[in-house]
Amino acid sequence: MADRAESETPRVGAAVLPDPGSVPHDSATTHVTGRSEYVDDRPMLRGELLCGIVYSPHARARLTRLDLSAALAVPGVACAVTAADVAHNLWGSIIVDQPLLVEQEAQYAGEVVAVLAAESRESLAKAMRAVRVEWEKLPAIRSIDQAVAAGAFIGAERSIARGDADAALAAAPHRLSGTVVIEGADHFYLESQAAIAYPRADGPMEVHSSTQHPTETQHVVAEAIGVPFNEVVCIARRLGGGFGGKESQAAPIAAYAALVARKTGRPARLAISKDDDMIITGKRNPFQIRYEVGFDGEGRLLALKAQLHSDGGAYADLSTAIMERALLHSDNAYCIPDMHVRGQVCRTNHHPHTAFRGFGGPKGVAMIESVIEDVARTLGRDALDVRKRNVYAPGRDTTHYGQKVENNCLPALFESLEARCDYRRRREDITKWNADRSSNPRGLSMTAVKFGISFTTRFLNQANALVNVHRDGTVQVSTGAVEMGQGVNTRIAAIVAERLGVPIGAVRVMVTSTEKNANTSPTAASAGTDLNGAAAAAACDRICARLANLALHLRDLPPERWPSRTAGLGTQPEAQVTDHPPAEPVRFEAGRVHAGPFSIAFADLAREAWLSRISICEYGHFATPDLGFNKLTGQGRAFLYYTQGVAASEVEIDRFSGEVKVRRVDLLMDMGRPINHALDVGQVTGGFVQGMGWVTTEHLFYNADGLLVSHSPSTYKIPSIQDTPRVFNAHLVFNEGNAANIRGTKAAGEPPLLLSLSVWTAIRDAVMNARAARSGGRDLVPMAIPATAERVLRALEPEAFAAIETR
């Protein structure tokens, strides 16, 4: 990886800033020593119950018998909860269409029908075995093609268009059409879904949940048990990973625990196993994309039409918003003059699919990057040259939804990484290598990302924060952001420390709770720091204004007349200050406050403020400005800014097994002015490797009844240390040109994952190189995601597999 000196170059359209430093993650020590507390680590209370779930094993089935009598007779079993116990049995983040518990008909394998609660794990296990459930299996829709044929859809078809794609296609010198198949993937967070509900006799029910969206969890729990929102408090201390899988789907888990707690009056804990978690929770939406592209002899894209279908599963969850994001990112880094993309979510009998790092962005980007590879192969050109010919540039910098690409670093990023990774020489070497048909095929590809940062639903782009300065100068900060390993607390602490001019060690970011921060948005869309950090900064600015005015007041007073000398006796009038900007410059830095030659320790000034009855606590609210995307017309400013990057990946394929080895990755990301360099590098490299798993080895298998069978680490292969690139060069560009966001930083959570598509396109490059070496042609070889070893081997040797299968 890049060291600090390397990460300061290249200068991509902006001045290079000094390394901002790398304060350790606030939980780094407790993580590595095993002392970090997650939901299921909380000590058991006297009388606490353990919960288990009963779910459908069929994709679609009518419930004909649910007999819990034997289970309830097991010693130690306290209760069972069914749909009859739920005050309001429907929930949904966008469309309220999903039952918490099955009433008559299950719509997917894994849909919960009952919850049992017992005093011990042994009693619970025995009771679960005693449950008697009978089902009548019903016809099910198990694929996108079946859903389209049946007209089974969720929501209306969405469309985004610019120009006249049909006319431009008809006039284009060259045309191609194709289909991109993208399968789902599991989030595989290390901490499975978990919640504990504590029924408080003298206050609201307290729910501790592993959730990315405490507010939604609070509301779903309240509706399920039939109380107003103020009768539930949701607390999320930290998550052992989320990646979008706990944005919406943590809420019903918390509701199950709360229903038991409400029914029994006892604390209830539900921490499901990895197997059950994978079976019942939704995945990254599978997509099927059909496209037609028109282009000229130089590889310039002239027109694109695409129809995107996604598998939403049995209920809506977040799939309509995911589809919208896929449509918005179908251009990725490239300007296409005439473009028309349409998207429709299909209703199937799978678990409801949900948010996953990148949301719908990876699907749209996979499509256009695959298109560019095919255009280049058809014309006999290098795909990098085709990308550079089509990349957004001055005069060609408006997207198909009408937003200008501001602070556009994409052309410079391509040029810089091309030189840094020695792309041209390596391409020549790979061509020579592949000419030897006895060698393992190699491929090389460079792809880009232009990821829009903001929720596309405008009202979600808001946050609030509570900043409490104590008399000793230390600070507590509460926001709606949830720490799930990404370092949002560390970044917010850095923002507050910088604003107040105190050491970061003086700032403590508190546990996330709906009691302190209400009506919050989920920690998602890579916007956790952007929104919550800006809200905290707004609170700090008002505190600083008061303290600055007080400092100016104290400067003009003899120390013997300061509040610390006189307030107890009441001999001096109190300072009357406002939170308007001070009349003179006042600096907060290095733990002191400076007003000209006058200087006072921040802690001393905080104490003087308290003695003067001046508030040094503040609530801040932030709403992202300048957003104006019209969902009905598909036009407008959808994002505050774009995080941009490029990656070049080289792969080698074992020609006997189809196994892919990633030999080298060079990655260059524009992160604006990073708040924390080390955390950003961790996000960039971690996101890339997670994406590698999605495009190569992570394959979901379902049985004939629609039940997931690859539901454990032994059957579902996430990347291991053996899968990481043999050479992995990750560099960050310091770009001072991004003025849109708090402190000039750019989001790091989701964008790097999309660069892993360079591994997928490199695999296609290697396969087509090998095929061309044999036939001398330019055959286009489709490759579904994930490009598993079997799929790669089939693509390399289609004739051999055809012969085997016809025997």
Q: Do 715 and 689 contact (CB within 8 A), yes or no?
A: no
For residues 537 and 747, what is the distance between their CA atoms, to the nearest angstrom?
17
Instruction: Copy the structure tokens of residue 640.
Output: 């505050």
The dihedral sign for the CA sequence 533, 535, 538, 544: negative
Instruction: Copy the structure tokens of residue 322.
Output: 């995911």
* Run of H or E residues at 67: strand 61-67
Task: Kindly give the pairing relationship between strand 635-637 and strand 628-630.
Answer: antiparallel
Backbone phi and psi for residue 176, each to the nearest 5 degrees, phi listed first: -135, 155
For residues 647 and 649, what is the distance between their CA atoms, to the nearest angstrom?
6
Q: Do 621 and 538 contact (CB within 8 A), yes or no?
A: yes
Instruction: List, in sequence order, every residue forming a beta bridge with 478; answer none if it has no partner.
Output: 466
For residues 17 and 487, what is the distance between their CA atoms, to the nearest angstrom?
22
The dihedral sign for the CA sequence 178, 348, 183, 450: positive
For residues 535 and 526, what is the distance between their CA atoms, to the nearest angstrom?
16
Q: Do 2 and 684 contact (CB within 8 A), yes or no?
A: no
For residues 645 and 260, what is the distance between their CA atoms, to the nearest angstrom?
48
Q: Do 602 and 592 contact (CB within 8 A), yes or no?
A: yes
Q: Which of 324, 608, 750, 797 is catalytic?
A: 750
For residues 388 and 385, what is the distance between their CA atoms, to the nearest angstrom?
5
For residues 709 and 701, what is the distance between their CA atoms, to the nearest angstrom?
6
Q: Do 535 and 622 contact (CB within 8 A), yes or no?
A: yes
Backbone phi and psi for residue 495, each to the nearest 5 degrees, phi listed first: -65, -45
For residues 290 and 284, what is the distance between their CA atoms, to the nearest angstrom?
19
Q: Do 453 and 361 contact (CB within 8 A), yes or no?
A: no
Alpha-helical segments (H) within 380-449? 383-390, 410-420, 423-435
For residues 477 and 470, what is the distance between their CA atoms, to the nearest angstrom?
11
Residue among 284, 274, 352, 419 nearest 715 (CA): 274
Cα angle vertex 34, ends 30, 39, to 5°? 90
Alpha-helical segments (H) within 657-699? 677-696
Residue among 339, 410, 412 nearest 371 (CA): 339
Spell out where 454-595 has E strands.
462-469, 475-479, 507-509, 512-513, 587-589, 592-595
For residues 766 and 430, what is the distance between their CA atoms, to the nearest angstrom?
9
Is 797 one of the catalytic residues?
A: no
Instruction: Copy the structure tokens of residue 161.
Output: 């268009």
Catalytic machinery residues: 750
